[in-house]
Amino acid sequence: MIPRPHPEPGRLVDAEFQVLDRQVLDRNGEPVVTVDDVEITDIPRGVELDPDADAPVIENLLSGSAVLGTRLFGGRPPESRWQRIRWSHVTEIGTAVELNTTADRLDASWTERWVRNHLIGRIPGGRHAPD
């Protein structure tokens, strides 16, 4: 079944209720991250907004300790440390957020790959299925 290219047009999505804190699965159903925050188009502050201008869009799903940390304990995460997954990767919003790419190709999975290559992968038997 070829995964749908993106969620069904016309469908409504409540970002906090259906995207934030949701599990993200890659194309093979392997968990990648949980959505720690959602990046939307910047809205200018203190300025009269033009009602006819284009409304903001969801640009990226964000994850990582910097984003989650500041969300839990306050403060604002430095933008340089936001781990981004482009919204264009999202194919479905269900009980989990599904992507059209594999986990290893996302920079959001660098900690998983680091632990795999430096620790777990090195222990004998780490690389093949449980028998």
Partner 1 sequence: MLLTELLRMRVVEVDGTEVGRVVDARFRIDAQGGARLVGLIVSPHTRAPFLGYERAALDEPLVLDRFLRWLHRGSFLVDWPDVRRLDDDGLHLREGYERRPSTLP
Partner 2 sequence: MKRLFAVALGILTAIGGFVDIGDLVTNAVVGSRFGLGLAWVTVLGVVGICLYANMSGRVAAVSGRATFEIIRERLGARAGMANLAASFLINLMTMTAEIGGVALVFQLVTGIDPLLWVPLAAFGVWIVVWRAKFSALENATGLLGLSLIVFAVAVFLLQPDWGHLGMQLIPRIPESESGSTYWYYAIALFGAAMTPYEVFFFSSGGIEEGWTVKDLGQTRANVLVGFPLGGILSIAIAACATLVLLPQAIDVTSLSQVVLPVVQAGGTIAFGFVVVGIAAATFGAALETTLSSGYTLAQYFGWSWGKFRRPARAARFHLIMLIGLVIAVLVLLTGVDPIAVTEFSVVFSAIALPLTYIPILIVANDRQYMGRHVNGKLVNALGLVFLVVIVAASVAAIPLMIITGAGQ
Sorted by sequence, the CB contacts under 8 Å of residue 4 that are 6+ apart come out as: 91, 92
Which of partner 1, partner 2, none has residue 126 at its interface (CB below 5 to 8 Å by kind)? partner 2
Q: Does 39 help bind partner 2 (rule: CB under 8 A)?
A: no
Give the span between the Cα atoms of 63 and 59, in whole angstroms: 13
Q: Does 73 help bind partner 1 (rule: CB under 8 A)?
A: no
Q: Does 118 help bind partner 1 (rule: CB under 8 A)?
A: no
Residues 76-115 that bind partner 2 (CB under 8 A): 95-96, 103, 111-113, 115
Q: Does 69 help bind partner 1 (rule: CB under 8 A)?
A: no
Nearer to partner 1, 55 or 123 (CB): 55
| Among 128, 109, 94, residue whose Cα is nearest residue 30 | 109
| Minimum CB distance to partner 1, residue 104 (Å) | 23
> 3-class DSSP state for residue 74?
coil
Are the beta carbons of 100 and 28 closer than 8 angstroms?
A: no
